[in-house]
Chain A
Amino acid sequence: MVQLKQLSIRLKSVKNIQKITKTMKMVSASKFTKAERELQAARPFGYAPRKFYESSHLVLGPVDLPSGDHKAKKTEKKPPPTEPGSPQTATTDKDKKLKRIYIAMTSDRGLCGGVHTGVARRIKRDFTNRAADGESHKLVCVGDKSRSILRRIYSQSMLVSIKDVGRLSPGFADASVIATVITQAGYPYDMGEIYYNKYYSPVKYELDVVPVFAKEKIETAPNMMAFDGVDAEAIESYAEWTLVALLYYALKEGAASEQSSRMSAMDNATKNADEMIRKLTLLFNRTRQAVITRELIEIISGAAALK
């Protein structure tokens, strides 16, 4: 028989937890509306650099598909091998020796479903697949969550980690700070890959990877010949600015996904707590009844014995 007191304490604690999850849900709901609104303004920041990567043939395949057509979008990531002799093959061959950085866009806060673990898992997978040339690959962790997941395995490859992101809604200045930190880390990377959660709807987000290229890669892009009157200095500034723009975009997408995911996670938690409360209340009432019955029996049988 469960003790009545223990039951009531447990019931109380579940009720308190439910209050917390309910509040968290409402807080993230309001943050989410803001994040979603701001994301609309940030979308061109992701679109424009990709469009350039496409037209300079750094990345093959169309980039400006309608947002619902995300399945097709996935194919854009890896340049497929083209016919021999074209400049593209040169870059695919060199792909292996590229100095890459992996940028994990997460935040410091948990309790939001699989947003952060998804990013970390994908990085782990890609890192393992390219393990042969792992020496030249480095990790950049934005947000404490990805850092704490990845640092045990890849402590050698950690370049920098940035925290205190995602407490407030991220702004362009945050992206500039991250880009500065990455640039000042002193690792001469050729290309970076930003792993972030792309937001589709309040109930749907998906992991996406967007490439970002350094100055040298842009200079040697297959279709760079078509671009007119571009000097090295302009390309350098352009590459730096593009990094900031893409980081800003990924931050915004990530923030919206995180809040939406937290919203549904907290909604589920509240529902689960509801169910627990229902079961516990039932058990509590039954136990209470049993205790009363037992006491009654004791009194009655005592009185009967005295007769």
Chain B
Amino acid sequence: MALAFRGALRSVARRLQVRSYADAPKGDEMALTFAAGNKVFYDKKVVKQIDVPSMSGAFGILPKHVPTLAVLRPGIVTVTENDGKISKIFVSSGTVTVNDDSSVQVLAEEAHPLENLDRSAAQEALSKAQSELNSAGNEKAKAQAAIAVEVAEEIVKAASG
């Protein structure tokens, strides 16, 4: 019963949104804000598509995507700009927000263009992180090392792929 109620509410909310899209002057455009601690990549720039790796699986965002929240996992964010240019940016962690006005915000702790990644350095970091994971004493250190391993693995994968 509660589920049905929730579903009904959601569909109402969606219908409301669709109407607001129609009213909005630039309803089918998607303004992307993409920033990391080191650099701003996009600032409210209109793009065609964004693919992000999230904790619940990678997904693509096109204009008029349903509003959602997600937490990024280490991986590659692919941005397709309006002129078809594709830029791939590696992110370590962060959040992605899709708002009901179709604007998208991607915030990352650290992000670097794919071409700036060095495979051998990443390999080194990976083996270091793995040895740290093996020698980690307590739960917290183990968790931290596991995250380091995950990030390093993803960097290696990204740099070699």
Which residues of A approach B to under 8 Å, CB–CB?
Answer: 40-45, 47-49, 51-52, 54-55, 64, 171-172, 223, 225-231, 233-235, 237-238, 241-242, 245, 248
Contact = CB atoms under 8 A, between A and B. Distances in A.
Interface string B15-31: 01100000000000000
Given A51-B105, A225-B10, A237 B71 contact: yes
Nearest to B33: A44
A237 B71 CA distance: 7
Tell which of A55, A225, A235 has the most Cβ of chain B within 10 Å.
A225
Given A47-B105, A48-B97, A51-B99, A227 B68 contact: yes
Nearest to A50: B105
23 contacts: A41-B36, A48-B35, A48-B95, A48-B105, A51-B97, A51-B105, A55-B99, A172-B109, A225-B6, A225-B10, A226-B14, A226-B67, A228-B10, A228-B67, A228-B68, A229-B66, A229-B68, A235-B69, A237-B95, A238-B70, A238-B95, A241-B94, A245-B107
B37 A52 contact: no
Interface in B58-117: 66-71, 93-95, 97, 99-101, 103, 105, 107, 109-110
Tell which of A40, A41, A171 has the most Cβ of chain B within 10 Å.
A41
Contact of A238 (B37, B43, B71, B103): B71
Given A41-B36, A230-B70, 11 more contacts: A41-B37, A41-B39, A44-B35, A47-B33, A48-B33, A48-B35, A172-B110, A226-B17, A226-B67, A227-B66, A242-B95
Nearest to B98: A227
A44 B105 CA distance: 8
Contact of A172 (B17, B37, B55, B67): B37
B9 interface: yes
Tell which of A51, A226, A230 has the most Cβ of chain B within 10 Å.
A226
A230 B35 contact: no
Contacts of A245: 95, 107
The 9 closest A-B pairs by CB, nearest first: A48-B105, A44-B35, A172-B37, A55-B99, A237-B71, A228-B66, A226-B13, A225-B13, A52-B97
Contacts of A237: 55, 71, 95
Given A44-B33, A47-B33, A225-B9, A52 B109 contact: no
Nearest to B54: A234
Contacts of B138: none
Interface of B: 6, 9-10, 13-14, 16-17, 33-40, 43-44, 55-56, 66-71, 93-95, 97, 99-101, 103, 105, 107, 109-110
Contact of B37 (A40, A171, A230): A171
Given A226-B17, A228-B66, A231-B56, A241 B71 contact: yes
Given A47-B105, A238-B95, A227 B71 contact: no
Nearest to B95: A241
Contacts of B101: 55
A52 B67 CA distance: 10
B148 to A, nearest CB: 14
A237 B105 CA distance: 16
Nearest to A218: B69
Contacts of B43: 44
Given A225-B10, A228-B67, A248-B37, A234 B105 contact: no
B4 to A, nearest CB: 14
B38 A41 contact: yes
A48 B87 CA distance: 21
Contact of B40 (A40, A241, A248): A40
B107 A44 contact: yes
Contacts of A54: 99
A226 B13 CA distance: 6
A119 B67 CA distance: 35
B34 to A, nearest CB: 8
Contacts of A41: 35-40
Contacts of A228: 10, 66-68
Nearest to B41: A44
B71 A52 contact: no
